[in-house]
Amino acid sequence: MACKRGALIVLEGVDRAGKTTQCTKLVESFREAGRAAHLMRFPDRTTTIGKLISSYLENKSDLEDHTVHLLFSANRWELVPLMKKKLEEGTTLIIDRYAFSGVAFTSAKPDFSIEWCKGPDVGLPKPDLVLYLQLSPDAAAQRGEFGTERYETSSFQQRVEGRFEQLMDENSVNWQVIDASQSIDEVHDNIKRLSLSALTAAEHRPIAELWR
Ligand code: Z5A
């Protein structure tokens, strides 16, 4: 590798854990520190596939469960060339949800195994760090009501949380659990420290493949 690559950092967590808030702050603080950083989120609702997903999430259309799982995965794969280009140019990617949400949400539905759900995402660029923002349902409730999108119910979110816990048992991925009940600034300080250290570790390593 001619120049140092950027790091791939993913934020995951349940509804209202603060992922979007923290992704935005992290990109700002990387840039303030003179490091190139770019924010991405999945689903990316701007693409043709993303628009189908968005309509499904907003309950404006229905899609068969396997089909929508594959669309979420396709929405990541369509952005892989851009992701690799940015990483190789030295830009750190901060990503709001990734394949782990894909697996946790679909496998929380009846009759879906974690193994089946992982399949379409095997080989995606592997994150150098996955920050899991942990928040209890009570603390999440203090941040406002659920929204009106599909999946935004307490029973479904509890099943999703259980699936995330199963995924975090695997040590092939660099998971770090963050106490998301702290103040926005405290959470940010923890995340920033772990992210800068992940960048230093990643700079001279090739981009690996997820779950392979
Ligand atoms: N999905 C899927 O099924 N398959 C897939 O492959 C993928 C996703 C990638 C996308 O939702 C849905 O698609 C999602 C998973 C599914 N369904 N659900 N649920 P989205 O990405 O468009 O939206 P979201 O991820 O659900 O957003 P969120 O979880 O509701 O929010 P958040 O990003 O974690 O939190 P936030 O917006 O930063 O903050 C929420 C509020 O809390 C806000 O008022 C903040 O000001 C406040 N906040 C944040 N941090 C704090 C702290 N520390 N203290 C106090 N208040 C705070």
Output the pLDDT for position 138.
Answer: 87
CA of 20 to the centre of ligand 1 (A): 6
CA of 70 to the centre of ligand 1 (A): 21
Residue among 39, 67, 76, 105 whose CB has most ligand 1 atoms within 8 A, to mutate: 105
CA of 37 to the centre of ligand 1 (A): 21
Asked whether 101 lines ligand 1 (CB < 6 A), one says yes
CA of 165 to the centre of ligand 1 (A): 18
Query: Per-residue pLDDT averaged across 131-147, rounded?
Result: 91
pLDDT in tens, 142-183: 998 889 999 999 999 999 999 999 999 999 999 999 999 999
Q: Which pair of tokens denotes residue 29?
A: 């603080």
Atom of ligand 1 nearest to the CA of 75: 6
Residue (of 144, 147, 136) closest to 180 by Cα position: 136
DSSP H or E segment with residue 176? strand 175-179
Q: Which pair of tokens denotes residue 153?
A: 């119910």
pLDDT in tens, 22-58: 999 999 999 999 999 999 999 999 999 999 999 999 9
Atom of ligand 1 nearest to the CA of 42: 9
CA of 16 to the centre of ligand 1 (A): 5
Give 60-76 as a DSSP string: SS---HHHHHHHHHHHH
Report the side by side order of strands in the sheet with 92-96: 37-41, 92-96, 8-13, 129-134, 175-179
> Can you tell me which residue has the tokens 């406002």?
144
Residue (of 4, 1, 7, 3) closest to 30 by Cα position: 7
Interface predicted TM-score of the whole assembly (ipTM), two decimals: 0.97
Query: Per-residue pLDDT averaged across 121-125, rounded?
Result: 98
Query: Per-residue pLDDT averaged across 70-92, rounded?
Result: 98
User: Residue 67 CB: number of other CB atoms within 10 A?
Assistant: 11
Is it the case that residue 203 has pLDDT exceeding 90?
Answer: yes
